[in-house]
Amino acid sequence: MNVGFPWALEIAALVRRLHPKSTIVFGGPHATLLAREILEAFPQVDIVMVNEGENAILPLIDAVLVGRPLGACPNLVFRDADGEIVRTRAAPLLDQLDGLPLMTLDADLLTRSAMISVEAGRGCPYRCKFCSSHAIWTRTPRFKSPSRLVDEAAAYVAQGGTRSDPLLISFEHDDFISNRPWFREFVAYKQRIGAVFRYAITTRINHLTEEVVSLLAKSGCVSVFMGLETGSERLQATSLKHLDLEKIAPSLRGLREARIHISSNYIVGFPEETMEDVAATIDLVLRMAWLGSTINISMMCPEPGSEIHADTDPAAYRLLLESDYATELRQGGLQPDLLPPIARYHFTTLANPHFDILQMERVVRSIQYLIVTFPGLSFEVFEAFLGDSKAFLAYVWSYVLENGPISAPSVEVFARSAPRLRNKRSDEFFAYEQARAAIRRGETSQISPRVFALDMPKPYFTRMDEIADAQWTQLNVFA
């Protein structure tokens, strides 16, 4: 459920109207963390299945079909005959994930899909204050055996048939390389049986040693996602993320040389975050983006089950009604501000004593738009402030405060008003970036005719390579 929770509630209400006697069951992370609250707030939900469902779903189905009491079924929260909410015993966690069945996938779907997700294991050993993973899977990492995981992925690839763009396997685990001997065996088995498939993983940057990067490269890994979260050493410590920022440069250099794509996530809005902390994060975000990393900046959400959620007074909650997620809800016919509190977490953040958090969301959204869509322009503006991330953040803040968030309709106004180094080709590069953005939006009629007179894209990408090369020196400042 998670981000789909509001729509799941709508679907449940529709099913209840069409099939009044049906039994409606919710499950998954969101339901596990808020089981009682869901049953208290939503009469269309009969039962919530919590934690792992594999050992609970069949007993539940059997009990419902024959009319047997639910009390003997594990991992359930439901209303009894008197309307009281009851929680049944917890089933032991699965210790042998190899016993899980393979997914039954439609061959046509596989042929048309660029990527499929394959569960590699469950559980994260870390204690980040903003994360609720431990409340669902515990802090003990569990993995499918290397042979099972490789054989499973290879089977899906074979089902997809011969294709010009090989199917990408996204292995789902909070930290794929947390067990180094397991990972070595995974690579060895994949090579031993000659399994040929590309894959993507999630891990922590402290695991990306020279040996690990070499193993990733030769075993077909093409993408690594990392939650770097903050460029502030202070917040790395207080959030209990505890990443060593000194390892960023050597780890990234190895991935780039191995031509492995990098994706990275960042969080703005920690309860104790200052403008200096935000500037440190923006500095890291910009440099990672110019190195070619896919960037996602999230606002802090008080996830139920996390330490931050437990420590925060709900009076500090602020709704991000201008966020992309809130916009998607409105486009789907929902009114975000009218949803009950337990359906709002993905567009809820926390008030901050050092800055206006809603204004910060607009600024962060603007910066992400700039660096993703107009990396050349963002570099020119940043360099105009001599690489001072505090000054860059302050400038974007003042611009957004006066003009609103930077988006496709307003980026040219920003470009005209922003201080930029006058690289002799900067205006041409900006025009080229505008054309690329218009093509992605399907708005080719908005492309200026002068773009076709430019000798792009070679000079542009040469310039972006120069910008990328310049970042190593700055990232090594952490070392």
Instruction: Give the pLDDT mean for 421-443.
Output: 82
Distances in Å between the Cα of 264 and the Cα atoms of 148, 165, 171, 255, 352 are 28, 24, 16, 13, 24
Q: Above 90 in pLDDT, residue 445?
A: no
- Which residue has better confidence, 251 or 264? 264
Collect all residues with Cβ–Cβ distance below 8 Å to 9 and sequence separation of at least 6: 42, 44, 45, 343
Which pTM value belongs to this model?
0.90
On whether the CB atoms of residues 23 and 50 are closer than 8 A, the answer is no
- Band the pLDDT of 422: cuts 50, 70, 90: low
- Residue-wise pLDDT for 250-263, tens only, equals 888 889 889 999 99
- Band the pLDDT of 477: cuts 50, 70, 90: very low
Distances in Å between the Cα of 249 and the Cα atoms of 208, 245, 280, 468 are 11, 8, 16, 12
| Helix, strand, coil share (%) of the chain residues, nearest 5 | 50, 15, 35
Which pLDDT value is given to residue 473? 65
For the chain, what percent of residues have pLDDT higher than 90? Answer: 68
- Residue-wise pLDDT for 197-236, tens only, equals 999 999 999 899 999 999 999 999 999 999 999 999 999 9
Which pLDDT value is given to residue 272? 93
Q: What is the 3-state secondary structure (H, E, C) of 148-190?
A: HHHHHHHHHHHHCCCCCCCCEEEEECCCCCCCHHHHHHHHHHH
Query: For all residues of the chain together, what is the average pLDDT?
Result: 91
- Band the pLDDT of 479: cuts 50, 70, 90: very low
Q: Above 90 in pLDDT, residue 108?
A: no
